[in-house]
Structure 1
Amino acid sequence: MPTGKDIQITIRSIIDEARSTARELLNEMESQDLSVERYLMKAKKLARLQRDSDAQK
């Protein structure tokens, strides 16, 4: 059974991954000419990390 410390580490790693994904998405949108599908895939990943069910649709 996970302890409080384990849960905090997991939450922190999810937040770190969400931040990293958001930075990557913004950098790619500003500096690269990728397909809309590629941007949407990253945006959906970010929504999933944030548990935003409306944005995942």
Structure 2
Amino acid sequence: MKDIILLLFLLGSGINLIVADQASDFAKCVYLLLFLVANALWTVFTKQGKRLVKLMEDYN
């Protein structure tokens, strides 16, 4: 359940970053920050994210 919630947060913030009509640079920065936080949470706390990090470590 946690994986699904984090994935939805990541997708929602990514779509919001791309599609939303931002009126100011501050709003763009906030949407980008939310996307980066969602990306970090997904990478650290989901099985797919941990697997991706392990693949990147094994690549070196």
TM-score, reference length from structure 1: 0.48
Higher helix share: 2
The one of the two structures with greater contact order (alpha-carbon pairs below 8 A, sep at least 6) is 2
